[in-house]
Structure 1
Amino acid sequence: MPVSGLRGFLDDFMQWLRQIPVSRKPFIAHHLASEFLDRKVIVDVYHTNKSKNQPIFFFLDGQDLRTMPIRAMQQQLSDEGYSSFTVVGIHANEARMWEYGTISRADYGDRGNRAPETAHFILEELIPFLQKRYFVSQAPSQNHVGGFSLGALVAFDMAWHYPQQFGTAGIFSGALWWRSRPFNKKLPDANRILHNQVAEASSLPPVRYWFQAGTKDEDGDRNQNGIIDAIDDTLQLMDLLRQQGQPESDLHYLEIPDGRHEPATWAVAMPDFFRWALRNGAEGF
């Protein structure tokens, strides 16, 4: 599909979703004072009030959800027979490069050195707050964590380290290049933290993984194999999971022709993630 064709599809898709009747206020914004992050965190909650024990979707870089018709998607899936679910957008701020990263270690530039504090905020402050205020499920199989770009890196890592809290991870255009040492032209694929984390694991956590990438996510091809890095990193990480014994039924990949590294593309992918997570989450482990 040419770029112009994709743009037209995106415009038509978003216009169609916006025609679905929803409440005038799509989300409730909370400003939570976090002791772990030592700041107030903006958290948007898209909640339907239609049922109790709703599955819940957490999104890192959740500020991008404000550009998407999330409530219209919730309504559309409800019309299709899916259970009501809650969506939570966790905003990043100027500290993003330090608060977002991998829990086990910072990258080679010490970026992501506050990733553990972000995890503690979500687990010990945000989740208890939501469970007290909203009718959301407390079952891990009904808790899903997703993210965009660097937020997607965090989503994978959160689910990996805390499978007792999250049953599914959604990786939208993930920054999976995150590495422990600077780029080396002689070893272009070396030192990627998540890839090594999976390859060196003695066992896999019981988590399902949904991945998305777009063919126009970027132009880089560091190993010169004809595949852009965003897709290459994603497919290689999925292969490592398979080699470690991840069931094929617990992996899903969506590649969007001419999809870019932007919320408009992620909005097109979002219903697929919701449907896949809700179908599989309902089955339990």
Structure 2
Amino acid sequence: MLFSKVTSTQDTIPSVLLKREVILDIFIPDHLLGNETLNLLLLNDGQDAVGMAMEETLNVLYQKNKLEALVVVAIHAGENRIQEYGVAGMPDYLSRGSSAKTYNDFVMTELLPYLEKELKIPINGKKGFAGCSLGGISAFDIVWNNPDYFDLCGVFSGAFWWRSKDLKEGYTDDDRIVHQMIRESKNKLRPGADSIVEPSPALKFWLMTGTEDETADRNRNGIIDSIDDTIDIIKELLKKGYQRPEHISYYEMVGGKHNVQTWSKALPAFLCWAFSRKSYL
């Protein structure tokens, strides 16, 4: 079926866990018949959905018949963003991300049931979570730790530098928190990867960086840290048995910066990779 337009609405869910009202921007294609396979994308930093041109991008892709039916739920961040985003149970060296576990629990035990019961959105297709910068590693963390629910993750300019030790305190690359989480996790794709024997579901990952994301270059190898850190995430995933391009897609935007304008330009590529009528997975 060809969807011609997206309906955008805003809702608010009272979160007991986060102790705040969480604003949601929800994008649903018009003229659903009720018998479609309906996919779901959660988006961190939902307050940036307008700047990322989410509605306009969805409209264009639907009009070109490039997307399956997709519900996008953009979750607005709160004033406590720097604590709610991160890796659950693993705050950084400044104790940021201390509420990441609570945010994870909000998504899984409050938000998803709310979407199903209160908004009556029947999700029977693929389920993904995406985010930019710190919101990106939050999305990655939640997908990685809930592989029985989610199918895929999208990370735009992910803050994969997130570390447990300051650069001045004897930091090494082993102190990067997301990389450590992957190494120490039992998640793996096939028996034989590392020392784990039980395979995990075949998650898929779309990782994006911009060549002008930043200027920092910790190891002075001529490659900015955001690219190095993202490539090293891919290496950790490969060690777990995930493969390219079947499970991992890397998109490097020449001239891309660490801002909403760049991420809006990358958005169509991610959506087509994740939810295209012609599978890019």
Letter paired with 2:226: A
Distance 2:92 2:257 in 1: 25
Native 8 Å contact 2:66 2:272 kept in 1: no
Q: Is it true that 1:222 corresponds to 2:218 in the alignment?
A: yes
Q: 2:22 aligns with which of 31, 41, 65?
A: 41
More helix by share: 1
Distance 1:187 1:69 in 2: 38
Cα offset for 1:263?
0.8
Cα offset for 1:174?
0.3
Residue identity (%):
34
Letter paired with 2:153: A
- Corresponding residue number in structure 2 for 1:114: 99
Unaligned runs of 5+ in 1: 1-20
Deviates more, 1:67-76 or 1:274-283: 274-283
Q: TM-score of the superposition, structure 1-length normalised?
A: 0.85
Distance 1:281 1:130, change over 3 A: farther
Native 8 Å contact 1:50 1:84 kept in 2: no
- Corresponding residue number in structure 2 for 1:135: 121
- 1:121-173 Cα distance to aligned partner (Å, 9 max, x none): 1111111111231434145xx11000010000101100100012210000000
- Corresponding residue number in structure 2 for 1:9: none
Show the 5 A alignment for 1:185-196: 187-196=171-180
Distance 1:45 1:83 in 2: 16
Distance 1:216 1:171 in 2: 16
Letter paired with 2:104: A
Show the 5 A alignment for 1:154-193: 154-184=138-168, 187-193=171-177
- Corresponding residue number in structure 1 for 2:192: none
- Corresponding residue number in structure 1 for 2:54: 70
Cα offset for 1:75?
2.4
Distance 1:282 1:22, change over 3 A: closer
Deviates more, 1:128-137 or 1:34-43: 128-137
- 1:159-197 Cα distance to aligned partner (Å, 9 max, x none): 100012210000000001111122247544230011112
Deviates more, 1:222-231 or 1:45-54: 45-54
Cα offset for 1:22?
4.7
3-state DSSP of counterpart to 1:154: helix
Q: TM-score of the superposition, structure 2-length normalised?
A: 0.86
Q: Is it true that 1:146 corresponds to 2:127 in the alignment?
A: no
Q: Is it true that 1:59 corresponds to 2:59 in the alignment?
A: no
Distance 1:66 1:283, change over 3 A: closer
Unaligned runs of 5+ in 2: 189-199
Cα offset for 1:49?
3.6
Q: 1:98 aligns with which of 65, 78, 83?
A: 83
- 1:223-247 Cα distance to aligned partner (Å, 9 max, x none): 1111101111001110111122112
Deviates more, 1:50-59 or 1:198-207: 198-207
- Corresponding residue number in structure 2 for 1:31: 12
Native 8 Å contact 1:86 1:136 kept in 2: no
- Corresponding residue number in structure 2 for 1:7: none
Distance 1:213 1:242 in 2: 19
Deviates more, 1:207-216 or 1:75-84: 75-84
